[in-house]
Amino acid sequence: MEILKENQYKDYKRLYFKKEKFELEEHYNQLKSIERREINESSEPTPRVFTYDTGSNPESSNDDSGASEIKKLYDRYKK
């Protein structure tokens, strides 16, 4: 009878620790997944905003020289 009680106690203890170990592993996995998710969300690069330079400096007469050359060529071709 005493041996039976000892065996039952050992089985109970083994199952209890097995269950506890499983719960701890599950909790650990949940924490790791939460940490990974937070890292992924925080490490996402901010969206890049593309802007065009409108040129804050007023155009000088030299900037228009290329356009006038094209206009001259076009006028010659037209004739």
pTM score over 0.85: no
CA distances from 74 to 54, 60, 62, 63, 64 (A): 27, 23, 20, 19, 15
pLDDT tens, residue order, the chain (79 aa): 888 889 999 999 999 999 999 999 999 999 999 999 888 877 766 677 777 666 665 555 555 666 788 888 888 888 6
DSSP state string for 26-72: HHHHHHHHHHHHHHHHHTSPPPP-------SSPPPTTTTHHHHHHHH
Domain range annotation of the chain? 7-41
